[in-house]
């Protein structure tokens, strides 16, 4: 009978990489959950209706206009001459109200909550009743319909993300396993 030698060095390295992969799986699940929540948040924000900007041109005396820059500083601008134009922006509160919580683990499930903290968000999402004929000063019109249909910003976005979720998770998991098994 002949002597046979086995080198288990590569097998031991493979076992160590596999153990590292198993220990890092929690981090992978948290990352993929955060990515899916970010995608849902992006889609919800994109679908959320925004108010209108109204540009007006007026004639009159010189007037000082106050506004804020992108970094939040107050600025003043004096408009001189017979004619000046200004823009009034209404809305955007509902769009700015979207937020996602941090990923948390509940048993074997990873949970991220995507929500809108604006009080009327549910009415825009699912629709609402209104009283026809009532005058609304903010829009300067009388209401005509008794039901305003919902926009379903969250519902449609969640369905889209859920339909593509399995493929994204499989792709990310395959890439993760390839990196781990290659020792990178």
- Its sign, for the CA torsion 47, 51, 57, 61, is negative
Helical segments of the chain, H only: 9-23, 25-47, 93-96, 121-126, 153-182
From CA 43, how far away is CA 112, in angstroms rounded?
Answer: 15
From CA 42, how far away is CA 161, in angstroms rounded?
Answer: 11
From CA 75, how far away is CA 68, in angstroms rounded?
Answer: 6
pLDDT band at 127; cut points 50, 70, 90: very high
pLDDT band at 154; cut points 50, 70, 90: very high
Question: Is the model more confident about 41 or about 71?
Answer: 41
Residue 184 has a pLDDT of 59
Q: For 50-73, write each residue's pLDDT tens digit.
A: 877 666 666 666 667 777 777 778
């Amino acid at each position: 009978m002949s002597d046979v030698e086995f080198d288990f060095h590569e097998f031991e390295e493979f076992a160590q990489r596999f153990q590292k992969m198993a220990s890092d799986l929690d981090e992978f699940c948290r990352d993929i959950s955060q990515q899916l929540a970010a995608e849902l948040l992006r889609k919800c924000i994109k679908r959320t209706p925004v108010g209108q900007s109204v540009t007006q041109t007026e004639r009159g005396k010189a007037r000082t206009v106050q506004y804020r820059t992108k970094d939040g500083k107050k600025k003043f601008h004096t408009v001189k001459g017979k004619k000046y134009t200004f823009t009034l922006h209404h809305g955007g509160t509902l769009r700015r109200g979207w937020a996602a919580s941090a990923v948390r683990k509940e048993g074997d499930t990873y949970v991220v909550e995507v929500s809108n903290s604006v009080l009327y968000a549910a009415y825009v999402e699912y629709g609402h009743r209104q009283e026809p004929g009532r005058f609304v000063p903010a829009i300067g019109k009388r209401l005509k319909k008794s039901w305003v249909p919902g926009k379903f910003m969250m519902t449609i976005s969640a369905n889209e993300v859920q339909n593509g979720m399995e493929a994204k998770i499989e792709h990310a998991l395959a890439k993760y396993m390839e990196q781990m098994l290659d020792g990178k």
